[in-house]
Amino acid sequence: MRTGGAPWNSGGMDGVTRGLRDGAAAGSTGGVRNGGADDGLFALPTVEPAPGAVHLPGYLDPAAQRELLDACRAWARPPAGLRTVRMPGGGEMSVRQVCLGWHWYPYGYARTVVDGDGAPVKPFPAWLGEWARRAVEGAYGNGSCAVQYDIALVNFYDETARMGMHRDRDERSDAPVVSFSLGDTCVFRFGNTEGRGRPWTDIELRGGDAFVFGGPSRLAHHGVPRVRPGTAPPEPELRGRVNVTVRAR
């Protein structure tokens, strides 16, 4: 990644909207919400709960959310579709998941669905990598991101699903993880690199939000203690929550 001076080395971002503004200056196409100076959305504050961890509220406009959701629904179909993840201890994750590019299983990556139907994992689309790079530029606001993203984990949450505190540590790359949220609002708990416990910051991630965590926060613990049923925006229509994390292997 070429991002010039990292914001966490220079005392953080000066001004809560800087990341969005710089993202807009970098130019974007499609429905990424920071793509225009006249959309009146610069008022949405960018929040940095920890160095290198940046919340971009309202990042995807409704058309982009629709595009991503339609793609998620197609990816969820078999073969190599949505599955329940079984943990080595015998438990099951309440979130159901489908992977693109590389198949994640506890705890590693494979090219086939080794803990499911055995089919080859679906390809990672170039456009999603571009969305992720643009979000990184929006978050850090200093130069272009050249990361070759090649993995996406798509998580489907019903109203009772949650995700325990964990680290995304099965990737060899230290590239920032980029998360896009659709549908219901959730409480996203962003903790620290030391352990699963406090200190942490609870953030409401809404449909359309992006969240980037890299640099000193790349291996921070995080989780989703609850989803707030019925809080999804009217468009695109979705019952529950979908989260897409884009990563580099």
For residue 188, the partner it binds in Fe ion, ligand AKG, none, with Cβ less than 5 to 8 A by kind, is ligand AKG
Q: Which partner from the list Fe ion, ligand AKG, none does 190 bind, CB cut-off 5 to 8 Å by kind? A: none
Nearest distance from residue 68's CB to Fe ion, in Å?
A: 18
Dist. CA 75–CA 62, nearest whole Å: 20
> Could you tell me the smallest distance in angstroms from the CB atom of residue 222 to Fe ion?
6
CB 144 within 8 Å of CB 2 = yes
Q: Of 30 and 225, which has the nearer Cβ to ligand AKG?
A: 225
Q: How far apart are CA 158 and CA 164, in angstroms?
A: 15
Shortest distance (Å) from residue 85 CB to Fe ion: 12
100 forms beta bridges with 122, 152
Eight-class DSSP state of 124? P
- Least separation, in Å, of the C-beta of 17 and ligand AKG? 23
The binder of 34, among Fe ion, ligand AKG, none, by C-beta within 5 to 8 A per type, is none
**CB-based contacts of 51: which residues, under 8 Å, 6+ apart?**
7, 8, 12, 215, 216, 217
Nearer Cβ to ligand AKG (24/232): 232
CB of residue 95 vs ligand AKG: minimum separation in angstroms?
A: 7
In angstroms, the CA 112 to CA 2 distance is 32
Among residues 147 and 224, whose Cβ is nearest to ligand AKG?
224
Indicate the residue among 124 and 188 with the shorter CB distance to Fe ion: 188
Specify the residue, 142 or 155, whose C-beta has the smaller distance to ligand AKG: 155
Q: How far is the CB of 144 from ligand AKG (least distance, A)?
A: 26
Applying CB under 5 A, the residues found at the interface with Fe ion are 168
Interacting residues with ligand AKG (CB under 6 A): 153, 155, 163, 168, 179, 188, 205, 222, 224, 243, 245
Under DSSP, is residue 86 helix (H, G, I), strand (E, B) or coil? Answer: strand
Q: What gap in Å lies between CA 209 and CA 180, rounded to an integer?
A: 6
Q: Which residue number is nearest to ligand AKG in terms of Cβ?
A: 243
Contact 120, 98 (CB under 8 A): no
Q: If contact means CB under 5 to 8 A according to the sort of partner, which of ligand AKG, Fe ion, none does residue 224 touch?
A: ligand AKG
Q: Which is nearer to ligand AKG, 26 or 64 (CB)?
A: 64
The CA angle 96-168-10, to the nearest 5 degrees, is: 135
Q: Which does 179 bind (CB under 5 to 8 A by kind): Fe ion, ligand AKG, none?
A: ligand AKG
